Amino acid sequence: METEDDLCRNNWGGSSSSSNLREPPVCFTSQHKWEDASILDYEMGMEEEPSLQVFNQMKASTGQDNNGGQVNVDFLQGVRAQAWDPRTMLSNLSFMEEKIHELQDLVHLIVGRNGQLQGRQEQLVAQQQQQQQQLITIDLTSIIIQLISTAGSLLPSVKHNMSTAPGPFPGSALFPYPREANNLASQTLNNNNTCGVHDFDFPKPSVVEERESHVVEEHEMKDEDDVEEGENLPPGSYEILQLEKEEILAPHTHFCTICGKGFKRDANLRMHMRGHGDEYKTPAALAKPNKEALPGSVPMLIKRYSCPFPGCKRNKDHKKFQPLKTILCVKNHYKRTHCDKSFTCSRCHTKKFSVIADLKTHEKHCGKNKWLCSCGTTFSRKDKLFGHIALFQGHTPAIPLEETKPSAQRGSSSGGNSSNNNINTGMIGFNVGSATNANEEVAQPGFMDGKISFEESFSPLCFDTCNFRGFHEFPRPMFDDSESSFQMLISSACGFSPRNGGGGGGESVSNTSL
Amino acid sequence: MSPSPSILSVLSEDLLVRVYGFLDPPCRKTWRLASKEFHRVDSLSRTSIRILRVEFLPVLLSKYPNLSSLDLSVCPKLDDDVVLRLASNGAVSIQSLNLSRATALRARGLETLARLCHGLERVDVSHCWGFGDREAAALSVAAGLREVRMDKCLSLSDVGLARIVLGCSNLNKISLKWCMEISDLGIDLLCKKCKDLRSLDVSYLKITSDSIRSIALLPKLEILEMVNCPLIDDDGLEYLENGCPSLQEIDVTRCERVSLSGVVSIVRGHPDLQHLKASHCVSEVSRSFLHNIKALKHLKTLWIDGARVSDSSLLTLSSSCRSLTDIGVSKCEGVTDIGMTGLARNCLNLKTLNLACCGFVTDAAISAVARSCRNLETLKLESCHMITEKGLQSLGCYSKLLQELDLTDCYGVNDRGLEYISKCSNLLSLKLGLCTNISDKGIFHIGSKCSKLLELDLYRCGGFGDDGLAAISRGCKSLNRLIISYCGELTDAGVEQIRQLEHLSHLELRGLKNITGAGLAAVACGCKKLDYLDLKKCENIDDSGFWALAYFARNLRQINLCYCSVSDTALCMLMSNLSRVQDIDLVNLNRVTVEGSEFALRACCNRLKKLKLFAPLRFLLSSELLEMLHARGCRIRWD
């Protein structure tokens, strides 16, 4: 679809531009409408069957209107013949001229009526006014439709395309409806078409011109792409170039013909050339060599590039060959796919790249990927990591490397050593006091000092009689439910005799006076 | 005591083992003291053990070769070193390991343990605030894990959970309560990888309905608990309507955004649901809810606390769900005698009934329940002010199986009422807090008849005195928990009687101004198993009491000394001598200096897990002490 319309505009701009310029502004409106219609068509998409039906309907009803019928017949003939006839075109042009005059008259009429209306607004019955207005509107609509369709028939290639594929839907709907039959049919179109006429809100010529120039520009661009649709270029519609490996990997692509110095950019070469003599300083020599330097010259075949690596999908011999668009694409593709990754990230030292730009892009974000999988892949987002883990068997989220943890880590690591010591001492079970002391000694040298001072400073606090070590070495009950073995304690001091009397053990502290 | 050789020749070892199998745990102690043979049978047959002191762990492990369950949750000083030393003894055939509150245990120790116990299936690491991703990764080495409890592992994030999920794919029970870092991503991965999951607890998590969508895909899930998930709404629960085909139990208590329609969608999708706990999220029991709940023929538990329930809806409900055994209608508006009578007529199998704060329920309802529901075991009547001795009379007459009775703040309860209650001879737990109309006379009845009582709560019962307490101490020998806080009449004479309660492990003496050191000394001397002691605001206890405590209460694990007049020396003695102490509250101690606190804490810093201190001490205590405490896994709350 795109192509059709492009081509339409293309020819419009090309062949009938001179007549266009001479046309009164109204004609621009129609052009404008045409465009709108085609834009509308983009949005609506293509419906083959209905448009064909409309087409047939039109064929059937052509007899009713002479002028319109003539054009239609011509048009249809043109469609069938697929030929461009200058005589038909001339007659079409004269028809359009006539129609434009009609249109002018109508518009004058409306303008006159409006002036009157302002005078005696109140006297007129609103209904009548509306009816008349409606009639005029219908007339206007049909004339404009005819104009548009005729103008459209001026384009020879439109016929061609319409025969192969159904035309733009609204475009064909706008196509010659007989004036009488239009009454009903155009009701539906009113919304689209009449509003502009109602209000006489013609787009200003400047706007139209702007649009037109835009169209032309577009045409130029598209011209390059020829009948391309997206990147699905039909084979043969473009020129395939294949650079050699050396050429691709060469650091410089532009060389001075005099001294042989290489440059990455042609502009730099031209700057350099100035030093070789005045002849390189002329504006012509310094100007950017433009492909489309000559306007109106035959559009060049577009260039696409092939990768020299055999078997690569980007290689022209591949079954599903996908060409590369520019030389830069070729270079990046070749380096990324077929070369060693020689640039290593200076931050993570793991990621490698073959294109230096990729490295720079990575380095911008390196370190921000804090979500790490056991396979080494990093993610900037947690949900991406979890998606990855859910997908692959055996992958687990990695826990970031140890931050230096305070004493706990040190304590337990050195505790291993101390445990050996303890075992070597041959104690049965664990001597609680000494074992913990040993741990603390190793783990917390500073704390050990504290411990000493603690024991020392305890005596001033009237613990003279109390042997601390003695407490530590009390036999301890094993369980809740086991008979505890310290019935030995300060029975006299507290004045209680533990009921389950029995032999005590350990050192007595009964000398502690309370 | 030693059995004659003839007995042993008659009873082979097999028979001994079988006999041993019938014994209750308390009797087993007597058994193993009987003879060497019996002791051998004990050590061979014993499968589970709860270690109180880590020093004996290696000896005990070698003594009991067939242990399958090891509980280290109340063990102080359990750290990586201990575990590493254990590893040198070789592998252990433990299947179930309880490491709850083992805050000093870190990744290295856990990994060693996980490798050491090949057949490990159940692990509990709840309340280990230091348990984070690294620890989870270490634990995931135990690939055979089936049950993991990680309640309140505050540092655990999605990454850690993912490690466990990926390492132990056979998980069928996991609890993530209060693991506040866990998000939808972690839950999603859990549900994708552990398809065998049967029980899942995601209470208090900040997860959204996306998680519910993942959970709904679990084919075998039977129990889903999501108490107080503030971001889950009705749309999320709709996923459950067509998901989780095996669901039997769901708890959506206090989910702010869940309303009746969400609960209805769960009910609609699961006609086999057995337990529905929807307290404080259903505002009203509507007709549509009743209509849907009628389909649940197997419903056993229904909690709709806080909803507006009319008598008629209660009747409809009970007439359709006749197998209900547990009903919670606490704080429900509109519950009256008519509704309760109807309910009692329909639900004859009722075992648990929660009527807390149902102010309009009177004796008539209680009588009806007692008459009809003869299997009633638990009855909660907190703040039911209309209840008087008449209701309790029928309870005493008919509810012979009653085990748990909560009469907190029922000021209609008097001595006569207690006399009736005492006829429920199977009573295990009795809560009489704030019942000011009871005196020694009533307490005496309880003490004389409820000999099986394990728990007695007499919080702020100002009406009884020393004689009552003496009666309790004489009669309820198996008492485990005793709360006599703010019972102002009590003096040393009464408190001294507590020493007769050998099994007492939890004692609250808060605010007893009349007791002195002598009373505390008697308690400390008699109650060997004392594990929790609350002495807050017992201002008249002098150092002699604390000295005695230091010498006798060797099993004390948690102590509250706020507002006590303990001196520096006594505190130091306590802290250095109580070798199992793990949780201390030390706020507002007038006689203790900064140095005293420092020394006391240094003496016990390697076994503390939780500590409450006066806030200014944060800057007065030495930083190395605080660091050491932190490194050993102690959390300090500054007050």
CA–CA gap between residue A463 and residue B121 (Å, rounded): 50
Of the pLDDT bands very low, low, confident and very high (cuts 50, 70, 90), residue A349 is confident
Structure tokens given for A164: 């192969």
Q: What is the pLDDT of residue A176?
A: 41
Residues B390-416, mean pLDDT to the nearest whole number:
94
Helix (H, G, I), strand (E, B) or coil at B638: strand
Residues A307-312, mean pLDDT to the nearest whole number:
88
Q: Among A326-340, B406-420, B518-532, which stretch is predicted with the lowest mean pLDDT?
A: A326-340
Q: Does the distance separating the beta carbons of A509 and B624 come in below 8 Å?
A: no
CA atoms within 13 A on the CB side of B306: 13
**A231-290 pLDDT tens trace:** 566 767 788 888 888 878 877 778 888 888 888 888 888 888 888 888 888 888 777 766
Contact B545, B520 (CB under 8 A): yes
Chain B residue with CA closest to A431: the answer is B55
- Report whether pLDDT(B385) > 70: yes
The DSSP bridge partners found for residue B249 are B223, B275
- Report whether pLDDT(A155) > 80: no
CA–CA gap between residue A344 and residue A237 (Å, rounded): 41
- Report whether pLDDT(B409) > 90: yes
Q: What is the pLDDT of residue A113?
A: 66
Residues A295-320, mean pLDDT to the nearest whole number:
79
Q: What is the pLDDT of residue B567?
A: 94
Residue A166's region, left for phi above 0, alpha for psi from -120 to 50, else beta, is beta
Structure tokens given for B207: 């997860």
Helix (H, G, I), strand (E, B) or coil at A238: strand
CA–CA gap between residue B529 and residue A34 (Å, rounded): 98
Q: What is the pLDDT of residue B33?
A: 87
Q: Does the distance separating the beta carbons of A461 and B599 come in below 8 Å?
A: yes
Q: Which residues of B touch A476 (CB under 8 A)?
A: 53, 55, 554, 579
Chain B residue with CA closest to A456: the answer is B599
**A167-213 pLDDT tens trace:** 444 433 344 444 444 444 444 444 444 333 344 444 444 333 333 33
Alpha-carbon distance B432 to nearest alpha carbon in chain A (angstroms) = 29
Q: Among A207-216, B171-180, B479-488, which stretch is predicted with the lowest mean pLDDT?
A: A207-216
Q: Which residues of A touch B163 (CB under 8 A)?
A: 396-397, 399
Q: Which residues of B touch A496 (CB under 8 A)?
A: 521-522, 525, 548
Chain A residue with CA closest to B571: the answer is A461
Q: Burial level of A481, CB count in 10 A (0-12/13-18/19+)? A: middle
Q: Which H or E element spans position B262?
A: helix B260-269
Buried b (16+ CB within 10 A) or exposed e, B50-83: ebbbbbbbbebbeebeebbebbbbbbbbbbbbbb
Chain B residue with CA closest to A457: the answer is B599
C-alpha distances (whole Å) from B560 to each of A228, B497, B503 are 85, 21, 20
Q: Does the distance separating the beta carbons of B109 and A481 come in below 8 Å?
A: no
Contact B148, B134 (CB under 8 A): no
**B27-56 pLDDT tens trace:** 888 888 888 888 888 888 888 999 999 888
**B207-248 pLDDT tens trace:** 999 999 999 999 999 999 999 999 999 999 999 999 999 999
Q: Does the distance separating the beta carbons of B569 and A486 come in below 8 Å?
A: no
- Asked if A501 reaches chain B (Cβ–Cβ under 8 Å), the answer is no
Q: Which of A423, A466, A481 sits opposite B29 (nearest CB)?
A: A481
- Asked if B162 reaches chain A (Cβ–Cβ under 8 Å), the answer is yes
Residues A469-496, mean pLDDT to the nearest whole number:
37
Look at A208 and B500; give whichever has higher pLDDT: B500
Of the pLDDT bands very low, low, confident and very high (cuts 50, 70, 90), residue A127 is low
Please, what's the largest Cα pairwise distance for chain B? 74
> In B, residues 34-93, which contact A (CB 8 Å cutoff)?
50, 52-53, 55-56, 58-60, 77, 79-81, 84-85, 88
Q: What is the pLDDT of residue B38?
A: 86
Of the pLDDT bands very low, low, confident and very high (cuts 50, 70, 90), residue B77 is confident
Which residue type, as a one-letter code, is found at position B160? G
Q: What is the pLDDT of residue A296?
A: 53
Residues B407-424, mean pLDDT to the nearest whole number:
94
Residues in chain A: 514
Q: Does the distance separating the beta carbons of A490 and B547 come in below 8 Å?
A: yes
> In B, residues 320-349, which contact A (CB 8 Å cutoff)?
none
As a whole number, the mean pLDDT across chain A is 58
Of the pLDDT bands very low, low, confident and very high (cuts 50, 70, 90), residue A364 is confident
Strand stretches in B510-598, DSSP E: 532-534, 558-560, 583-586
Contact A398, A374 (CB under 8 A): yes
- Report whether pLDDT(A346) > 60: yes
Q: What is the pLDDT of residue B532?
A: 96
Helix (H, G, I), strand (E, B) or coil at A511: coil
The DSSP bridge partners found for residue B200 are B174, B224
Q: Which of A390, A450, A494 sits opposite B548 (nearest CB)?
A: A494
B537 contacts: CB under 8 Å, gap ≥ 6? B510, B511, B513, B562, B563, B564
Phi, psi of B534 (to 5 degrees): -110, 115
Q: Which residues of B touch A430 (CB under 8 A)?
A: 55, 58, 85
Q: Does the distance separating the beta carbons of A461 and B163 come in below 8 Å?
A: no
Q: Does the distance separating the beta carbons of A509 and B631 come in below 8 Å?
A: no
Q: What is the pLDDT of residue B69?
A: 92
C-alpha distances (whole Å) from A22 to each of A35, A147, B164, B346 are 19, 15, 82, 99
Q: Predicted ipTM? A: 0.86
Q: What is the pLDDT of residue A256?
A: 84
CA–CA gap between residue A377 and residue A431 (Å, rounded): 49
Q: What is the pLDDT of residue A68?
A: 43
Q: What is the pLDDT of residue B58?
A: 86
**A57-111 pLDDT tens trace:** 444 444 444 444 444 444 444 444 445 567 777 888 888 888 888 888 878 877 7
Q: Which residues of B touch A490 (CB under 8 A)?
A: 547-548, 551
Q: Which residues of A touch B77 (CB under 8 A)?
A: 436
Q: Which of B422, B510, B423, B506 is nearest to B472 (CA)?
A: B422
Q: Does the distance separating the beta carbons of B521 and A386 come in below 8 Å?
A: no
Taking CB atoms and an 8 Å cut-off, how many pairs form between chains A and B?
A: 161
Q: What is the pLDDT of residue A142?
A: 79
- Report whether pLDDT(B624) > 50: yes
**B131-176 pLDDT tens trace:** 999 999 999 999 999 999 999 999 999 999 999 999 998 999 999 9
Chain A residue with CA closest to B156: the answer is A399
Q: Between vectors from CA B440 to CA B438 and to CA B443, what angle results, nearest 5°?
A: 75
**B349-375 pLDDT tens trace:** 999 999 999 989 999 999 999 999 999
Chain A residue with CA closest to B623: the answer is A447
Interface test with A, best of B1, B33, B159 (most A CBs within 10 A): B159
Q: H-type helices in B297-455, by residue range?
A: 311-320, 337-346, 363-372, 389-398, 415-421, 440-449
CA-based radius of gyration for chain A: 47
Chain A residue with CA closest to B62: the answer is A429
Look at A292 and B524; give whichever has higher pLDDT: B524
Helix (H, G, I), strand (E, B) or coil at B457: strand
Of the pLDDT bands very low, low, confident and very high (cuts 50, 70, 90), residue A436 is very low
Chain A residue with CA closest to B194: the answer is A390
The DSSP bridge partners found for residue B277 are B251, B303
Q: What is the pLDDT of residue B5?
A: 61
- Asked if B526 reaches chain A (Cβ–Cβ under 8 Å), the answer is yes
Q: Which of B81, B548, B569 sits opposite A462 (nearest CB)?
A: B569
Q: What is the pLDDT of residue B515?
A: 94
Of the pLDDT bands very low, low, confident and very high (cuts 50, 70, 90), residue A445 is very low
Alpha-carbon distance B347 to nearest alpha carbon in chain A (angstroms) = 42
- Asked if A494 reaches chain B (Cβ–Cβ under 8 Å), the answer is yes
Q: Among A100-109, A297-306, A470-479, B65-74, which stretch is predicted with the lowest mean pLDDT?
A: A470-479
Q: Which of B29, B60, B79 sits opposite A412 (nearest CB)?
A: B79
CA atoms within 13 A on the CB side of B105: 30
Tell how strand B352-354 and strand B326-328 pair up. parallel
Q: Which H or E element spans position B352?
A: strand B352-354
Q: Does the distance separating the beta carbons of B188 and A390 come in below 8 Å?
A: yes
Phi, psi of A245 (to 5 degrees): -55, -45
- Asked if A397 reaches chain B (Cβ–Cβ under 8 Å), the answer is yes
- Report whether pLDDT(A228) > 60: no
CA–CA gap between residue B484 and residue B435 (Å, rounded): 12
Chain A residue with CA closest to B548: the answer is A494
- Report whether pLDDT(B189) > 60: yes
Alpha-carbon distance B70 to nearest alpha carbon in chain A (angstroms) = 14
Of the pLDDT bands very low, low, confident and very high (cuts 50, 70, 90), residue A469 is very low
A448 contacts: CB under 8 Å, gap ≥ 6? A440, A441
Q: Among A43-57, A476-490, B349-363, B402-416, which stretch is predicted with the lowest mean pLDDT?
A: A476-490
Number of helical H runs and strand E runs in chain B: 28, 24
Q: What is the pLDDT of residue A205?
A: 40
With a pLDDT cut of 90, the percent of chain B lying above it is: 78
Look at A476 and A321; give whichever has higher pLDDT: A321
**B587-610 pLDDT tens trace:** 999 999 999 999 999 999 989 999
Q: What is the pLDDT of residue B151?
A: 95
Chain A residue with CA closest to B542: the answer is A514
- Asked if B579 reaches chain A (Cβ–Cβ under 8 Å), the answer is yes
- Asked if A489 reaches chain B (Cβ–Cβ under 8 Å), the answer is yes
The DSSP bridge partners found for residue B380 are B354, B406
Of the pLDDT bands very low, low, confident and very high (cuts 50, 70, 90), residue B4 is low
